[in-house]
Amino acid sequence: MITLKQIQQDGEVAALIEAGNAYLAARGYTDHGPRHVGYVSYTAAKVLRALGRTRRLVELAAIAGWVHDVGNCVNRHHHGATGAVLLLPLLRRMEMPTADALQIVTAVGNHEEEHGVVTSDISAALILADKTDAHRTRVRHGQPDPDDIHDRVNFAISSSRVEVAAERRTVRHKLAMDGSSSVLEYLQIYLPRIVMCESAASHLGCSFELVINGHTVNNKSEE
Separation CA 209–CA 124 (nearest Å): 15
pLDDT in tens, the chain (223 residues): 899 999 999 999 999 999 999 999 999 999 999 999 999 999 999 999 999 999 999 999 999 999 999 999 999 999 999 999 999 999 999 999 999 999 999 999 999 998 899 999 999 999 999 999 999 999 998 899 999 999 999 999 999 999 999 999 999 999 999 999 999 999 999 999 999 999 999 999 999 999 999 999 987 655 4
- The answer to whether 82 and 71 are in contact (CB under 8 A) is yes
Q: Closest by alpha carbon to 132, among 180, 78, 186? A: 186
Amino acid letter for position 70: V
Cα–Cα distance measured from residue 112 to residue 89, given in angstroms and rounded to the nearest whole number: 21
Domains recognised in the chain with CATH numbers: 4-216 (1.10.3210.10)
What is the per-residue pLDDT across 93-123, written as a single tens digit (0 to 9) for each?
A: 999 999 999 999 999 999 999 889 999 999 9
Cβ atoms of residues 132 and 173 within 8 Å: yes
> How would you write the chain as a 3-class SS string?
CCCHHHHHHCHHHHHHHHHHHHHHHHCCCCCCCHHHHHHHHHHHHHHHHHCCCCHHHHHHHHHHHHHCCHHHHCCCCCHHHHHHHHHHHHHHHCCCCHHHHHHHHHHHHCCCCCCCCCCCHHHHHHHHHHHCCCCHHHCHHHCCCCCCHHHHHHHHEEEEEEEEECCCCEEEEEEEECCCCCHHHHHHHHHHHHHHHHHHHHHCCCEEEEEECCEECCCCCCC
- Whether pTM exceeds 0.75: yes
